[in-house]
Each structure stands twice: as structure tokens, then as C-alpha cells.
Amino acid sequence: MNPWFAFLEQQPLATSPKEGHHILTPLTHTGILRVAGRDALDFLQGQTTCDVRKITEQNSALGAFCNPEGRVIANFRILMHDGDYLLLLAADLLDIVLRRLKMFVLRSDVKLMAEEFPLFGVTVFAHGQLDRIGKPPQTVDAISTMANLTWIRMPPPGLRWLVLGPYEAARRFWLFLVEEHQAICHSVEQWQLQEIRSGVPWVTQVTSEVFLPQMLNLDALGAISFDKGCYTGQEIIARTHYLGQVKRRTYRVRLDSKRHIEPGEKLLCGDETVGQVVNTAGTPEGQEMLMVLRCDRAQNPAIFPVAAPGAYLQWLDLAYTLP
């Protein structure tokens, strides 16, 4: 077994957040793809929606891989690490993306591999709480090194960082927070809830190749460059943008029902299918969700998931403005 996974199995999970405690979250639902080689930049530039030329050791960005029809195979967060590119994406899509990308390598000097770095989330309850060991990046998407680990600032709500690095450094830092700062370990669902509240959707295997990037609000999140040149799916994505033909968008909602809703679940208005669930996370009252929905049905109080007839959605604000 991967030593990091073995270490995590020994860590007790808290059942609910505790005020005044740092939170550590194992991000085992996320896979890491390393792209290395002399031609890595040009290769990724021709396969992704984001402008890879703007990625440095000091910043990360969101992006996506699309099929020729412009549908998102997987979205990711990209960063540079030791001169290579790391892409963080849904773990259940890692092998699928690897196989797809290998088809386009041909004679390029590009190496694609799954990486097994420890990866976890750190959430602190107040500014300055980590000053004893260093200063993590404060600007969203920014990167710095602290405690021999790479830190990436996540969008609000909360003070959150995504942290990755060598096993021994990760293990030492985790135990330091637990023993010296009484940090508690939370399940990945708590992290997923914060991602939903930040309005960042994550495509998984059940929703792969279903949505255009704009349907996932990736344009609003800065994950699409419309002036970088050609990439797989670019023609349809650009046409949709310039003709203003985005008829579906991602919205955030709450469902006060104990019935569990899964990603991929259809949404109905009467007998008509009007959308699909992308991500869900539990709350004490029920669930919060990101869903792709027809724009002309946004805010409609009569929409409900197929699995929960009679349990209607409550509409919540996104953390950003849609184009």
C-alpha cells in the first residue's frame, strides 16, 4: 500500500467541525498527473483550455481537457513542480486522461505518468495561525514552499490551502499540526462542501464528456483562454463564446432532504429534464450541490432531483458573477 494512504488510515476522523481548530483533509479523491519533457509546454498548450504559458512556480490555474466536440473529459488545477507540470484532477479520471493524452504524444519529448505525492487540505480558523512555521500564500491560486511542502491558496470561503510534497515532510507536518495545534482530521466531504461554496465544479467519471466548459462556468473561473490558439475542442468552445450561445450554466443550490443525491442525477421540472447534478456534499440539513441547469429555468422553485420527488431546491448565490 502507498505509505501515505497507510498513514491516513491511522488518523482518527472527526464527525463534525470544531470551532477554533485547524482542519486537515485527506484528498484521496484527487489524482495527480505529471507531464514532463522538453515539449511538455507545447503539448499541454495544444490539449488544454487554459494558457499554460502563464503557469509559473508561483501560480496555479484551473483548466480542462476536452474532446473534439468541446465536451469536458476532466477539469484540473495545474502547477509547476520541479520543472514539470502537475495536474490535479478527479482520481477516477486519471487513467482515462492518461490513455487519451498518450494518443497525442507521437514523437514529442513528453512523458506522462501518475504521481503518488501525498496531497491534503489545510484549513485554519484565523489569519496568522501558521506564522510559527512560515507564511503560506495569501492570494488565491498563488504557490509557495513551506515546511518542505508546496502550498496552493484555495478560493474562499475559509482560509484553505492545498498542500503536496514528499511523504516524510507531509507526515511530519500533519503530526505537528495535530500534536502542537490540536488540528482535527476531516473527511473529504467537508473539503468538497467548501469547493461547492466557492463555485468550483469537478467533473468525475459519471459526468465526463457531458458538459461544455462554459456550462461548468469555467470561463467565469478563468479556466479558458480565448486567445491562446488551437487546442482540442477549441472550435466549438470559441464559437459558443463568441455567438453567446451558452444555454446552460452551473448553479449552487441546497436540498433539505436526507435522501442522498449522487453526481449525475437528473433534475426535473414537472416531467421535463432540465439539468444534471455535478457535485454534492452533505450538511446538517441535507445537501449542497452544484448543478448544470438550463438558464431559462434558473431560480425556478419547482425543480427537483429524480431521486427526491417533492424535495425542491433552494437557490444559493455563487461566489462570482456569470458572464
Q: Which tens digit of pLDDT belongs to each residue from 75-99?
A: 999 999 999 999 999 999 999 999 9
Exposed / middle / buried, residue 87 (Cβ in 10 Å: 0-12, 13-18, 19+): buried
C-alpha cell at 83: 520543472
Per-residue pLDDT at 18: 64
Q: Distance from first CA to last CA of the chain, Å, rounded? A: 45
Is the torsion defined by CA of 54, 55, 56, 58 positive or negative? positive
What is the pairing mode between strands 149-153 and 84-90?
unpaired
Q: Which of 288, 277, 285 is nearest to 318 (CA)?
A: 288
* Integer Cα distance of 33 and 249 in angstroms: 28
Fold of 20-246: Gyrase A; domain 2 (3.30.1360)
What is the average per-residue pLDDT within 253-260? Answer: 88
C-alpha cell at 25: 483533509
* Integer Cα distance of 35 and 40 in angstroms: 6
3-class secondary structure, 116: coil
Mean pLDDT of the chain: 94
C-alpha cell at 316: 444559493
Per-residue pLDDT at 150: 97
Per-residue pLDDT at 15: 67
Q: 308 and 254 in contact (C-beta within 8 Å)?
A: no
- Residues 6+ positions from 94 with CB-CB distance below 8 Å: 31, 32, 33, 114
Cα 234-201-188 angle, rounded to 5 deg: 140
Fold of 247-316: Elongation Factor Tu (Ef-tu); domain 3 (2.40.30)
Q: Which of 61, 57, 60, 110 is nearest to 82 (CA)?
A: 57
* Integer Cα distance of 57 and 44 in angstroms: 16
Q: Where are the domains of the chain?
A: 20-246, 247-316
Per-residue pLDDT at 20: 66
Cα 121-122-126 angle, rounded to 5 deg: 150
* The pLDDT of residue 218 is above 70: yes
* The pLDDT of residue 259 is above 90: no
Radius of gyration of the CA atoms of the chain, in A: 20
3-class secondary structure, 150: strand
Place of cell 422553485: 301
Q: How confident is the model at residue 233 (pLDDT cuts 50, 70, 90)?
A: very high
Per-residue pLDDT at 17: 62
Q: How confident is the model at residue 169 (pLDDT cuts 50, 70, 90)?
A: very high
C-alpha cell at 49: 483550455
pTM of the model: 0.95
- 4-34 pLDDT, tens per residue? 999 999 999 886 666 668 899 999 999 999 9
Q: 281 and 193 in contact (C-beta within 8 Å)?
A: yes
C-alpha cell at 289: 450541490
Q: Determine phi and psi for 239, rounding to 5 degrees.
A: -60, -45
Q: 189 and 121 in contact (C-beta within 8 Å)?
A: no
